Amino acid sequence: MGNFNAGIISTGRAYPEGVLTNADLERMVETSDEWIKTRTGIEQRHRAAEGEYTSMFAVRAARQAIERARIDPMEIDVIICATVSPDQILPSTGCLIQAELGAHNAAAFDLVAACSGFVYGVTIANQMIRCGQAKYALVIGAEVLTRYVDYTDRSTCVIFGDGAGAAILGQVEEGRGILATRIRSDGRFAEQLFSPGGGTRIPTSTATLEQGMHFFKMRGNELFKVAVRSMTEVSIEVLTEAKATANDVKLFVPHQANQRITDAVADRLGVDSARVYSNIAMHGNTSSASIPIALDECIEQERIAKNDLVLLASFGGGATWGAVALKW
């Protein structure tokens, strides 16, 4: 058993070159640019082309993070791929990523927690590093959600995009790194955001495909209330454990689900809008990939400095939610 502090030491991101704008959607479904931006804050989203798949973007993001961490893939002890859109049912996308990276010493697996997947993965990696079971962990959030979007349903097709974000976690000096994490779920909210077809309960058939049962279904108004409340509460929990307040937060990076959710959570927490990062306009909701993509953009834009208190918070289907407080 060890007694190490864990922190994020590098990040990376990748997404398809293809872009689907609100103007494109106006030609596909009954909607408008104004309607989409008013309700979600989204202007465009990346969309994978035919022949592109989840692990392609995961590997690109991971290689970027590995290079920036200046480590060899063989030094990675665990790979956690958070995704709800795997390459295939078996084997895990994590194992496929491992093979591509040449990280043959790592345990690799997938984690299914929808939009909270990256926060869940960081929580698990943190514990593995703290107890000495891993020196380096690779946590990836990767999605090709547009494969599960019904482009006749304007309530969902305007929201989701594709992409991947990755982070290398490793041992850091005392007083820095991850200060507190919390993950939560409540299956009673399962049908607020779900994809009913294609599993063992409702196996894929001609009928399920005709009925679009493999597409995402969402009850947006109900989801909004639960998301705001849950993200606020769990953020307060990790800040309290970290012996900090919202005034101490230098950067708040929430899951990019909906600009109104981001604004409502920040307002309830009392975090000034200047310290809240939002990229939903350019990417849409990329589920588990949204926080690591946003975090990598923040680093690139030099919005994070050493010793800054950074707050991550997420909410997703399940329902799942969680938060991480870390000192950069």
Quick: pLDDT tens for 181-216. 999 999 999 999 999 999 999 999 999 999 999 999
Whole-prediction pTM = 0.97
Ordered alpha helix ranges (H), 146-258 = 154-157, 206-210, 220-241
Strand 107-111 versus strand 162-172 pairing type: unpaired
How do the domains of the chain map onto residue ranges?
A: 5-176, 179-327
Question: In the prediction, which pLDDT does 237 show?
Answer: 98
- Lowest-confidence segment of 94-103, 124-133, 214-223 by average pLDDT: 214-223
Question: In the prediction, which pLDDT does 3 show?
Answer: 73
Q: Do domains 5-176 and 179-327 have the same CATH topology?
A: yes
User: Cα–Cα distance between 85 and 205 in angstroms, integer?
Assistant: 19
Fold of 5-176: Peroxisomal Thiolase; Chain A, domain 1 (3.40.47)
Q: What does pLDDT average to over the chain?
A: 97
User: Cα–Cα distance between 128 and 165 in angstroms, integer?
Assistant: 20
Neighbours of 308 (CB within 10 A): 16
Share of the chain above pLDDT 90, in %: 96
Quick: pLDDT tens for 245-293. 999 999 999 999 999 999 999 999 999 999 999 999 999 999 999 999 9
CATH superfamily of 179-327: Thiolase/Chalcone synthase (3.40.47.10)
Q: Region 93-112: what's the mean pLDDT?
A: 98
CA distances from 225 to 43, 59, 90 (A): 23, 35, 36
Catalytic residues: 115, 255, 285
